[in-house]
Amino acid sequence: MELKQTAFRLDGVFLPPDGQPDWPLYFVAVQLQRDPELYARLFAEAFLYLRQQRPVHPWQAVVLYPTRTLDPGPHLHYDVLLQSRQVTRVYLDEWAQPRQTHVQRLLSVLLSPPPQAMGEARTLLDQLRADRSMDTAQAAAFINMLETILVSKLPRLRREEIQAMVELTDIDLKQTRFYQEVFAEGRQEGRQEGEVALLLRMLQRRCGVLTLPIREQIAGLPLRQLDALGEALLDFGGLVDLEQWLAAHGVEDATGAQ
């Protein structure tokens, strides 16, 4: 019998770092709708990858579901694998309980309908404000992810309206140690290049991908205007706001005149 090979596409293959042959590689599938052929496809893809790539690592498979009802359930051919330690099935709505950690609360915002999501978002912000032990970059990342989730769930509302509804103010962003330290780091380096690099990082998180002309225009700003842009960016709702700010402020000459 000759079997025809079908083309497969894996959702994700995560390899461990070099020098760690005992760490597993992970096959990850994200399933947002019911699919009775999911496990047949997942294991066919995984074993085809193992045959072709011949990795030195052991393997694990992780399947992420928003809710348990989307799981196809037992399968005659794959139950041995599904019940083994090789496979982990995660139901995000259950994993998000009892909503104590920041990650659990963030997942609740993602999975909840819009009215409930707004309440979950406010609770998460209260937790973030009260958490004095959180890593600086993590605090900023949580706020950025929270905004992104709410904007995607409420596409008809402007970012400013969403911020008002969940009581997310610029003070929350400006008072994070991440915001303060990245600019302090740039000033301590004493180099304009350092501050430009840090500013571009924050702008990309806030506004999305920056074109080369915009990056070059920002790199040409003097230090005083870089500081001003760093303050202004927290009011930006997107790339248009950045473009308008750059058009209004331009590049000053050595005397400070525009």
pLDDT digits (tens, 9 = 90+) for 194-219: 678 778 877 887 788 888 888 888 88
Q: How confident is the model at residue 46 (pLDDT cuts 50, 70, 90)?
A: very high
Instruction: Give a yes or no: residue 117 inside a domain.
Output: yes
Q: How many distinct structural domains can be found in the chain?
A: 3
Q: Same structural domain for residues 66 and 119? A: no
Instruction: Give a yes or no: residue 59 inside a domain.
Output: yes
Residue 252 has pLDDT above 70, yes or no: no
Cβ-based neighbours of 149, under 8 Å, separated by 6 or more? 106, 109, 110, 117
Q: Same structural domain for residues 149 and 110? A: yes
Q: Same structural domain for residues 110 and 167? A: yes
Please name the residue ranges forming H helices in the chain. Answer: 38-53, 79-82, 92-95, 102-111, 114-130, 136-153, 159-165, 170-174, 177-189, 192-207, 212-219, 223-232, 239-249
Instruction: Give a yes or no: residue 5 inside a domain.
Output: no
Please name the residue ranges forming H helices in 54-101. Answer: 79-82, 92-95
Residue 128 has pLDDT above 50, yes or no: yes
Using DSSP's 3-state secondary structure scheme, residue 29 falls into strand
The residue range of the domain holding 133 is 97-172
Q: How confident is the model at residue 26 (pLDDT cuts 50, 70, 90)?
A: very high
What CA–CA distance (Å, rounded) separates 179 from 139? 10
The whole-model pTM stands at 0.49
Instruction: Give a yes or no: residue 255 inside a domain.
Output: no
Quote the pLDDT of residue 174.
53
Q: Same structural domain for residues 236 and 186? A: yes
> To which H or E segment does residue 88 belong?
strand 87-91
Instruction: Give a yes or no: residue 211 inside a domain.
Output: yes
Q: How confident is the model at residue 177 (pLDDT cuts 50, 70, 90)?
A: very low
Instruction: Give a yes or no: residue 258 inside a domain.
Output: no
Instruction: Give a yes or no: residue 239 inside a domain.
Output: yes
Taking a C-beta distance cutoff of 8 angstroms, is the pair 195, 226 a contact? yes
Instruction: Give a yes or no: residue 192 inside a domain.
Output: yes
Average model confidence (pLDDT) for the chain? 79
Please identify, among 130, 151, 172, the residue that sits at the C-terminal boundary of a domain: 172
Percent of the chain exceeding pLDDT 90 equals 19
Taking a C-beta distance cutoff of 8 angstroms, is the pair 82, 75 a contact? yes
Please identify, among 172, 193, 226, the residue that sits at the C-terminal boundary of a domain: 172
Please name the residue ranges forming H helices in 5-72. Answer: 38-53
Q: Give the position of tokens 């950045």.
A: 242
Quote the pLDDT of residue 136.
64
Q: Same structural domain for residues 16 and 85? A: yes
Quote the pLDDT of residue 176.
47
Residue 250 has pLDDT above 70, yes or no: no
Q: Same structural domain for residues 16 and 91? A: yes
Taking a C-beta distance cutoff of 8 angstroms, is the pair 9, 48 a contact? no
Please identify, among 95, 110, 138, the residue that sits at the C-terminal boundary of a domain: 95
